[in-house]
Amino acid sequence: MQIYYATTNAGKLASMQRDLAPYDAEVIQLALDIPEPRLADVGEISRHKALAALSQSPGPVVANDSGFYIHALGGFPKTYVNFALETIGIEGILRLMAGQRRACEFRESLAYMDSTRSEPVCFYDVVPGALADDKKGAMREGLWSKLALIFIPEGSEKTLAEMALEEYDAWRQLKRAQSTPVRQLGEWLARIHST
């Protein structure tokens, strides 16, 4: 089965191709720059993006969105991560967190849409963790955001950027073994195509 992935990010494309290969899904890049609605919910954004992409796609399409939610700040920055990093930066986020509880989470949504559906099917994931007190580690290939300098995933004592490459790869493998949106999509596709 062919699925078109509405993304301009080659790294995201390669990751989805690898993760959907066991489900006999061929993922083809649909390099669209889709305007994102200004919403705080990752599910609604991925849903809107999938609907917009379908009109420009030769087949079934997927689109995703993610956000970063800090509990003590009412969820800030939510889906506005790039804006927050461009304006106040990591240092500003850490200043806002002075004396606050450090719980936070990444949220991700992946929406699938084809011409037989009236609405996209959405798959979700939450990656809980905590904010470090200071920036730790160094940015490198594979780290998708500067938030890696301050995000400590649940079960770890290090930020993603502090982890040695082997530790980071082990954490990613553990994540992939769990129910990620891409894995949920693959299992769902396998179910609907086996009937």
The residues that are catalytic are 65
Angle at 103 between CA 75 and CA 144, to 5 degrees: 75
Contact 2, 60 (CB under 8 A): yes
Contact 15, 31 (CB under 8 A): no
User: Residue for token digits 């099917």?
Assistant: 121
Q: How far is CA 171 from CA 56, 97, 105, 164, in A?
A: 36, 26, 16, 11
Q: How far is CA 34 from CA 17, 31, 72, 76, in A?
A: 21, 9, 31, 23
Identify the helix (H) or strand (E) that includes residue 52. helix 42-54
